[in-house]
Amino acid sequence: MPSYKLTYFDFSGGRGEPIRIAFHAAGIEFEDNRISFPEFAEMRASSRFNSVPVLYIDGAQVTQSNAISRFVGKLAGLYPEDDLQALYCDEVLGAVEDLNHYVVRTFGLQGEELKQARENLADGWLSTYLKGFDDLLSRGGGEYFADNQLTIADLKVLVQVNSVASGHLDHIPTDIVQRLAPSLLEHQKRVQNHPLVTAYYESLST
């Protein structure tokens, strides 16, 4: 069995969380290397693309969150074997990553500049992507995005919806998901209550 070490920020959420859940679902031991932002600044240059998450497999570095998510998702049975369903899963993974890039562009802004950027985000790309995710969920049957079961795509959307609806993003209306894509809130509850997901979070408190 290879040794796995996942390096990502020390919080629940973001690009690393779906990977952590999938590792736990697969029953695979891994080193959950949680780093602070100052620690990331120190290690950034040693990361291939100056970013995290980074997965080390027997010490060899692998980057790109979607590639890692697919890899660990396959180990956990959370990635479709059917080619078309895998395509559906990949479409969701890519769309979440695209949205993340627009959100990250607003980080570090302050005051009126942040307010204007976040309002533009809410009225523009965020609305576009939320409606798009709603369409993709409907295509998948309304409960999951692909394969009629939990996949890594559902975990990635869960993290994204949690972030948008949490109120942690200043100037993003907390009811935007409810207004534009209420099915995503039902999906959020469904995924959060899935036994594989609840087992992961229960493991953090033991």
Sign of the dihedral defined by the CA atoms of residues 58, 10, 169, 201, in that order:
positive
Per-residue pLDDT 10s for the chain (206 aa) are 899 999 999 998 999 999 999 999 999 999 999 999 999 999 998 889 999 999 999 999 999 999 999 999 999 999 999 999 999 999 999 999 999 999 999 999 999 999 999 999 999 999 999 999 999 999 999 999 999 999 999 999 999 999 999 888 999 999 999 999 999 999 999 999 999 999 999 999 87
- Rounded Cα–Cα distance for residues 40 and 50 (Å): 9
**Chain position carrying tokens 């396959």:** 74
The verdict on 185 and 125 lying in the same domain is yes
The domain that holds 72 is classified in CATH as 3.40.30.10
Q: Which residues pair with 146 in a beta bridge?
A: 149
Q: Is residue 64 located within the same domain as residue 96?
A: no
Residue 73 lies in a domain: yes
Query: What pLDDT, on a 0 to 100 scale, did the predictor assign at position 205?
Result: 85
If one counts the domains in the chain, the total is 2
Residue 79 CA, chain-centre distance (Å), reads 15
The rounded distance, in Å, linking the Cα atoms of 196 and 154 is 12
E strand or H helix at 57, and its extent? strand 54-57
Q: Are residues 63 and 108 in the same domain?
A: no
Q: What pTM did the predictor assign?
A: 0.95
Q: Name the domain boundary from 77, 107, 126.
A: 77
Do 99 and 180 have their domain in common?
yes
Query: What pLDDT does 159 receive?
Result: 96
CA-based nearest residue to 78, from 4, 147, 158, 1: 147
> 59 CB contacts (<8 Å, ≥6 apart)?
3
Residue 91 shares a structural domain with residue 59 = no
Is 21 within a domain? yes
* Domain containing residue 113: 83-193
The string of DSSP codes covering 64-132 is: -HHHHHHHHHHHHT-S-SSHHHHHHHHHHHHHHHHHHHHHHTTTT--HHHHHHHHHHHHHTHHHHHHHH
Domain co-membership, 144 together with 95: yes
Q: What are residue 50's phi and psi, to 5 degrees?
A: 55, 40
How many whole angstroms separate alpha carbon 151 and alpha carbon 155? Answer: 7
